[in-house]
């Protein structure tokens, strides 16, 4: 498929992308950030597009970065906004979970968008996230890989019937196991129905820092090792330009013929010999820590899941045993094989974000670092946050400017409290529950 000046899928290189976290209506900030992302190497750039005002802002941003990279409008709730954005930028992302609430109107609504896209040579990304399925899909399948796959397939069947093929698909989850299982199921389902649309890979709400990178590498790496994936985003709760080198390293690693790849016989032998403890020795030892973390995590997701390993021993003489042990634990936790510490699920932020995400994640982490075994979400907005924080035990969600809502599981227990009280209240909530 073609998106602006690039091709995605087939034998084309795996494309790196990211998403701006500026207010789309702040043109100067958005263009500045776009330039930084382009300089860092992004090949596509997505912007939050809540309404027609944002479409008009995108027109201006597009005019300023026109020849550099294709822009993607990220539309969630309003089909008219998708129609308008499709006339302005190179691609539009829609979320089947909230694209059209009325199933009897879904086909006509989507075909209208296809017609506009055909006329303007605009591509479509169908993006389903764990936690944001339509009520109809939830009733039928629950929040499951099957439900996510069917949400996509329903749209793909319509597109194929109408001979529209410029589509890329994403099915993402914060839980790496769910993400990998869903993408694999989608590939099988498409294959059965003689479809081969390109796939965009990513782990949503992966968090930040080393944990966010390891979690992303575990999920994305498992699929790249399968030979699945045409474009990649590493979603971090950091500046979007920080995502690019991480994604690039993952893509380069799997493009390198000398990278380590485990085949079934080698792994089975390892597991037979040591009883469920996968020991990883690399033939040539990477000596740069950040790169080693990414490569080990990228290799291990597949190894842990497909061969049911429950322990992991990393061997690399360039690093101390204790550092390697911590990394092994972080990888096991990122793959949800074992839980050692509190897991932070935080969104990457976008134009909807209601607070300084990086600062807030750091505050929440500092206040809760002593806890173990919990999943705590920090989500930038109330629109998508509660759904997409998936299986978090507690959620800190932006409800409005300087206003936060706190969640226990899916239940909102404190609504619209001032942000300066929110971390203290979150801790109180956790302590009440656990005492």
Binding site for ligand SF4 (CB under 6 A): 347-350, 352-353, 379-381, 383-385, 388
Q: Nearest distance from residue 21's CB to ligand SF4, in Å?
A: 8
Which of 21/316 has CB closer to ligand SF4?
21
- Give the residue with the Cβ less far from ligand SF4, 156 or 389: 389
Of 114 and 247, nearer to ligand SF4 (C-beta) is: 247
DSSP notation for 180-220 = HHHHHHHHHHHHHTT----EEE-BTTB-SHHHHHHHHHHHH
Contact 41, 244 (CB under 8 A): yes
Closest separation between CB of residue 79 and ligand SF4, Å?
A: 18
CB of 388 vs ligand SF4, minimal distance in Å: 6
Closest CB 390 distance from ligand SF4, rounded Å: 11
Closest separation in Å from C-beta 53 to ligand SF4: 17
Report residue 23 as tokens.
Answer: 């207010």
Closest-CB residue for ligand SF4?
380
DSSP 59-71: HHHHHHHTTT--E
- Nearer of residues 247 and 293 to ligand SF4, judged by Cβ: 247
Quick one: 75 or 199, whose CB is closer to ligand SF4?
A: 75
For the four alpha carbons of 369, 373, 374 and 379, in that order, the dihedral sign comes to positive
Give the span between the Cα atoms of 94 and 240, in whole angstroms. Answer: 21
Tokens of 292: 């080693």
Contact 47, 73 (CB under 8 A): yes
- Cα–Cα distance for residue pair 295/134, rounded to 1 Å: 36
Closer to ligand SF4 by Cβ: residue 278 or 382: 382
CA-wise closest residue to 403 among 421, 390, 389, 386: 421
Nearest to 42 by CA among 322, 186, 239: 239
- Given the complex with ligand SF4, which of 170 and 353 has the nearer CB atom? 353
Measured from the CB of residue 403, what is the shortest distance to ligand SF4 in angstroms? 14
Nearest to 294 by CA among 354, 350, 216, 357: 216
Q: Beta partners for 45?
A: 18, 71
As given in the structure block, the two tokens for residue 121 are 């040579």
Q: How far is the CB of 256 from ligand SF4 (least distance, A)?
A: 32
Question: How far, in Å, CA of 330 to CA of 337, rounded?
Answer: 10
**Which residue number, 24 or 144, has a Cβ lying nearer to ligand SF4?**
24
CB of 308 to ligand SF4, least distance (A): 33
Residue in the structure block whose two tokens are 């032998």: 269
């Amino acid at each position: 498929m073609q998106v602006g000046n690039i091709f995605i899928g087939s034998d084309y290189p795996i494309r790196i992308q990211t998403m701006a976290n500026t207010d789309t209506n702040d043109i100067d900030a958005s263009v500045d950030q776009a330039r930084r992302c382009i300089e860092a190497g992004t090949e596509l750039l997505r912007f939050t597009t809540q309404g027609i005002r944002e479409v008009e802002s995108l027109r201006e941003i597009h005019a300023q970065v026109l020849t550099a990279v294709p822009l993607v409008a990220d539309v969630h709730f309003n089909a008219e906004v998708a129609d308008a954005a499709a006339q302005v930028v190179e691609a539009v992302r829609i979320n089947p979970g909230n694209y059209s609430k009325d199933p009897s109107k879904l086909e006509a609504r989507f075909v209208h968008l296809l017609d506009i896209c055909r006329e303007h040579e605009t591509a479509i990304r169908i993006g389903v996230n764990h936690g944001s399925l339509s009520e109809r899909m939830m009733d039928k399948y629950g929040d499951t890989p099957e439900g996510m796959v069917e949400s996509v397939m329903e749209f793909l069947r319509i597109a194929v019937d109408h001979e529209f093929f410029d589509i890329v698909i994403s099915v993402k989850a914060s839980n790496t196991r769910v993400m990998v299982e869903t993408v694999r199921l989608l590939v099988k389902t498409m294959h059965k129905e003689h479809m081969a649309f390109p796939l965009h890979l990513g782990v949503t709400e992966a968090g930040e820092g080393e944990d966010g990178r390891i979690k992303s590498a575990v999920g994305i790496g498992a699929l790249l090792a399968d030979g699945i994936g045409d474009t990649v985003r590493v979603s971090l709760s950091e500046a979007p330009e920080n995502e690019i080198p991480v994604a690039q390293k993952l893509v380069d690693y799997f493009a390198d013929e000398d990278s380590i790849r485990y085949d079934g016989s080698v792994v089975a032998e390892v597991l037979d010999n040591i009883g469920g403890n996968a020991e990883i020795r690399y033939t040539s030892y990477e000596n740069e820590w950040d790169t080693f973390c990414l490569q080990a995590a990228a290799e291990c997701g597949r190894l842990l899941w497909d061969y049911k390993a429950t322990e992991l021993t990393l061997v690399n003489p360039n690093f101390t045993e204790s550092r390697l042990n911590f990394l092994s634990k972080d990888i096991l936790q990122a793959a949800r094989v074992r839980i050692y510490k509190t897991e932070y699920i935080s969104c990457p932020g976008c134009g909807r974000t209601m607070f300084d995400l990086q600062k807030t994640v750091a505050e929440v982490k500092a206040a809760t670092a002593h806890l173990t075994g919990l999943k705590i979400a920090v989500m930038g907005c109330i629109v998508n946050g509660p759904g997409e924080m998936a299986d978090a035990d507690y959620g800190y969600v932006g409800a409005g400017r300087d206003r936060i809502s706190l969640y226990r599981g899916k239940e909102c227990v404190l609504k619209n409290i001032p942000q300066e009280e929110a971390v203290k209240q979150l801790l109180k909530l956790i302590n009440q529950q656990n005492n």
